[in-house]
Amino acid sequence: MCCARFNSPVGRVHLGHLSAAGGAMMTAIDFQNLTLGYNRHPVVSQLQTEIVEGSLTAIVGPNGAGKSTLLKGVVGALTPIDGRVVIGSIGRENMAYLPQQSDIDRSFPLSVADIVAMGLWREIGPFGWLGIKRRARVETAIAAVGLTGFESRVIGSLSGGQMQRALFARLLLQDANLVLLDEPFLSVDARTMADLICVIQNWHEEGRTVLAVLHDNEMIKAHFPDTLMLARELVAHGPTDKVLTSDNQFRARQMCEACAGPPHVCGRDAA
């Protein structure tokens, strides 16, 4: 399946990044001494960095490093324990979030067309009428991810890869300028992963800002220009070839091992 099929109808993370024209790039997300957690126990601690508009960033780290928690903080599902998340000119109303599939209830009898049409919620509200033109957009999004013929299939009958395609079709309809993806390639086949990478690359080419929690370092090196490495605290953030080093990965493992057990305050000194 060609990347060109995923064209949608329609934007890096350091202070001082410059645009091609030589001007400072706009900040999409500013993490200001951010601490997030559960029941006042920190999971992400004192994160200080920026995500630049139009960047394509992988979020990496060992299990328990706080990657998914960070995305929940960005979308506002978690209130910071300390510090704050500042969303730039994009605004939270222009944000799309794809949680892990395990967070989605597939027992509810929704069809593929139903769940994809939810991408139009901002336009029509929970009880709005799709109409002919919007139904055509739903069909176009379904076709763009290779699910033509699955429109009436109940989502509980889909494979992991088919379900993820449907969720990406929903994202296409949301048409957001800030896209957050939590483990988008978990439990999907290689062809589905390749097709969905095409969708992500097209978003990047269109100037959208994309953050994705990922684990496959070789895939990240091939497709994600920037990487943010977490181990409950920031390990490194910048160009992928500078972040995904063996030294940084070893340090991240040390930091997380020092925090094994219930979340608690731990720090860089552990590494």
User: Cβ-count burial of 1 within 10 angstroms (0-12 exposed, 13-18 middle, 19+ buried)?
Assistant: middle
Q: How many CB atoms are located within 10 Å of the residue 243 CB?
A: 20
| Alpha helical stretches, state H, the chain | 67-75, 112-117, 121-124, 131-144, 160-174, 190-205, 217-223, 240-243, 246-258
The long-range contacts involving 240-244, CB below 8 angstroms and separated by at least 24 positions, are 240/58, 243/60, 244/60, 244/217, 244/220
Residues 35, 54 contacting (CB under 8 angstroms): no
**Mean pLDDT across 255-269:** 59
**Per-residue pLDDT at 259 exceeds 90:** no
Residues 169, 141 contacting (CB under 8 angstroms): yes
**Whole-number pLDDT of residue 261:** 56
Q: Cα separation of 210 and 228, whole Å? A: 12
Q: Cα separation of 237 and 259, whole Å? A: 21
**Whole-number pLDDT of residue 257:** 79
For residue range 30-85, list pLDDT tens digits in order. Answer: 999 999 999 989 999 999 999 999 999 999 999 999 999 999 999 999 999 999 99
Q: Of the candidates 212, 211, 233, 222, which has an alpha carbon nearest to the alpha carbon of residue 29?
A: 211
pTM score, two decimals?
A: 0.85
